[in-house]
């Protein structure tokens, strides 16, 4: 489920910072757990209770999961200790996991959530990558892929409060960017189409939800609030607050979604943006762009149903067209026919 809002800090939070508060909660939970389950006591003590901070506990636990030596513990601890923004991101990720699953104990997230642990390891690998320590960054990435079956390229940029649910099989490419408060299920792929080099991976906006097994491929933009259904294959930009389903994907969305459309800042009056499978044409009123929608041209053929529209037509009836042709007053239809 999507991460929609973060709960407030407790009322006494004014005196202590959030990281300390979360750590206190986790430690108390682990102490209760050790009492109720003696078989776990030694594990909980060494992993949580014996440590003085969240960073130390997380570094120890990740180091253990990924490698039995102390090399990784030191690497993680140095990285977390030297970067307070990284620590606050970790806390935001913990809270995202907790919001998603109200029954989730924070110590359970820290100990057992593969998606949370993978993400923290990635954040360290990413920091090493931008410090140009690429060999060790790639070695850490490889180890995470072996242990957790999650493959996030160290160069990928991922926002705060992100939830990787189940996580197994997730693949995120080198030039992908993921926004804040995004939820990504297992088996999701954010990768290239194999046809281009350079900046070739998706950009995912804030608050997006990507269902299990969905694939977003190529240098496409998924705008804020988009929901992508399980198993969808997305090769096109998705406007804000829309929903995509199916393979090949179709836009799905009733009036509720269409009301939430908002202007697309990068498209100017009278712009026509085309590629081989998608036709995006601005619908013009007298003086401004009123709306834009991505419409799939199925498999390169000329659409069997072409809807020609003037300004002011309701957009929420257009979702099942193969091709949408909109044009401003004063131009003829043929001037604008895309070359598909």
Choose, by CB under 8 A, the member of 4, 301, 314, 333 that binds a second copy: 301
How far is it, in rounded angstroms, from Cα 198 to Cα 213? 25
Q: How far is the CB of 142 from a second copy (least distance, A)?
A: 4
Kindly tell me which of 44 and 178 has the beta carbon lying closer to a second copy.
44
Kindly tell me which of 105 and 177 has the beta carbon lying closer to a second copy.
105
User: Binding pattern to a second copy, positions 180-219, x when CB under 8 A?
Assistant: ---x-xxx-x-xx-xx-x-----------x-xxx-x-x--
Query: With contacts defined by CB under 8 A, how many residues of the chain interact with a second copy?
Result: 68
- DSSP E strands, 122-235: 151-152, 157-158, 163-164, 171-172, 177-178, 183-184, 189-191, 203-204, 209-210, 215-217, 221-222, 227-228, 233-234
Q: Are strands 243-245 and 250-252 parallel, antiparallel or unpaired?
A: antiparallel
Contact between 284 and a second copy by CB under 8 A: the answer reads no
Cis bond upstream, residue 191 (ω within 30): no
How far is it, in rounded angstroms, from Cα 130 to Cα 108? 31
The secondary structure element, H or E, covering residue 326 is strand 323-326
Contact between 231 and a second copy by CB under 8 A: the answer reads yes
Choose, by CB under 8 A, the member of 98, 108, 122, 203 that binds a second copy: 108
Determine the interface stretch with a second copy among 4-12, 247-255, 265-273, 285-293 (rule: CB under 8 A): 247-255
Q: How far is the CB of 90 from a second copy (least distance, A)?
A: 18
| Gyration radius of the chain's alpha carbons | 23
Contact between 338 and a second copy by CB under 8 A: the answer reads no
How far is it, in rounded angstroms, from Cα 299 to Cα 303? 9
User: Binding pattern to a second copy, positions 6-45, x when CB under 8 A?
Assistant: ---------------------------x--xx-xx--x--
Contact between 314 and a second copy by CB under 8 A: the answer reads no
Q: How far is the CB of 64 from a second copy (least distance, A)?
A: 11
The answer to whether 147 and 65 have CB atoms below 8 angstroms apart is yes
Contact between 112 and a second copy by CB under 8 A: the answer reads yes
Contacts of 105 (CB under 8 A, 6+ apart): 29
Determine the interface stretch with a second copy among 4-12, 91-99, 110-118, 258-266 (rule: CB under 8 A): 110-118
Angle between helices 84-100 and 71-81 (to 10 degrees): 100
Find the binding residues for a second copy in span 132-171 (CB under 8 A): 133, 135-136, 138-139, 141-142, 145-151, 166, 168-169, 171
How far is it, in rounded angstroms, from Cα 170 to Cα 180? 18
Choose, by CB under 8 A, the member of 2, 159, 328, 338 that binds a second copy: 2
Kindly tell me which of 23 and 148 has the beta carbon lying closer to a second copy.
148
How far is it, in rounded angstroms, from Cα 120 to Cα 80? 10
* DSSP symbol at 204: E
Phi first, then psi: what are they for 241, rounded to 5°? 65, 20
Kindly tell me which of 22 and 170 has the beta carbon lying closer to a second copy.
170
For the chain, the straight-line distance linking the first and the last C-alpha, in angstroms and rounded, comes to 37
Q: How far is the CB of 43 from a second copy (least distance, A)?
A: 7
Helices (H), the chain: 18-36, 38-44, 54-66, 71-81, 84-100, 106-112, 114-130, 134-148, 255-259
Kindly tell me which of 9 and 171 has the beta carbon lying closer to a second copy.
171
User: Which residues contribute to the site for a second copy (CB under 8 A)?
Assistant: 1-2, 33, 36-37, 39-40, 43, 65, 71, 75, 102, 108, 111-114, 133, 135-136, 138-139, 141-142, 145-151, 166, 168-169, 171, 183, 185-187, 189, 191-192, 194-195, 197, 209, 211-213, 215, 217, 229-233, 245-248, 250, 252, 254, 299-301, 319-320
């Amino acid at each position: 489920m999507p991460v929609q809002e973060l709960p407030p800090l407790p009322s006494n939070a004014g005196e202590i910072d959030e990281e300390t508060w979360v750590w206190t909660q986790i430690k108390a939970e682990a102490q209760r757990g050790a009492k109720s389950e003696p078989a776990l006591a030694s594990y909980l003590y060494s992993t949580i209770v014996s440590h003085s901070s969240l960073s130390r506990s997380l570094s120890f636990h990740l180091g253990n999961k990924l490698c039995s030596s102390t090399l990784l513990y030191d690497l993680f601890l140095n990285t977390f200790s030297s970067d307070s923004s990284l620590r606050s991101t970790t806390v935001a990720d913990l809270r995202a996991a907790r919001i998603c699953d109200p029954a989730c104990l924070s110590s359970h997230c820290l100990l057992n959530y593969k998606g949370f642990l993978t993400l923290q390891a990635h954040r360290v690998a990413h920091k090493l990558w931008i410090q140009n320590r690429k060999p060790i960054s790639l070695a850490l990435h490889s180890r995470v892929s072996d242990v957790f079956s999650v493959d996030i390229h160290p160069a990928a940029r991922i926002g705060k409060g992100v939830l990787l649910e189940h996580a197994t099989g997730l693949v995120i490419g080198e030039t992908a960017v993921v926004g804040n408060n995004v939820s990504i299920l297992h088996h999701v792929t954010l990768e290239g189409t194999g046809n281009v080099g350079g900046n070739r991976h998706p950009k995912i906006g804030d608050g997006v939800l990507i269902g299990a097994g969905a694939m977003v491929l190529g240098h496409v933009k998924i705008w804020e609030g988009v929901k992508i259904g399980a198993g969808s294959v997305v090769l096109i930009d998705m406007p804000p607050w829309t929903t995509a389903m199916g393979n090949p994907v179709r836009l799905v969305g009733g009036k509720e979604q269409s009301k939430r459309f908002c202007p697309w800042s990068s498209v100017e009056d009278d712009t026509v943006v085309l590629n081989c499978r998608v036709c995006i044409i601005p619908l013009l009123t007298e003086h401004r762009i009123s709306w834009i929608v991505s419409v799939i041209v199925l498999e390169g053929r000329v659409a069997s149903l072409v809807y020609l529209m003037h300004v002011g037509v309701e957009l929420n009836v257009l979702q099942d067209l193969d091709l949408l042709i909109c044009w401003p007053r004063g131009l003829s239809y043929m001037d604008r026919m895309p070359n598909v």
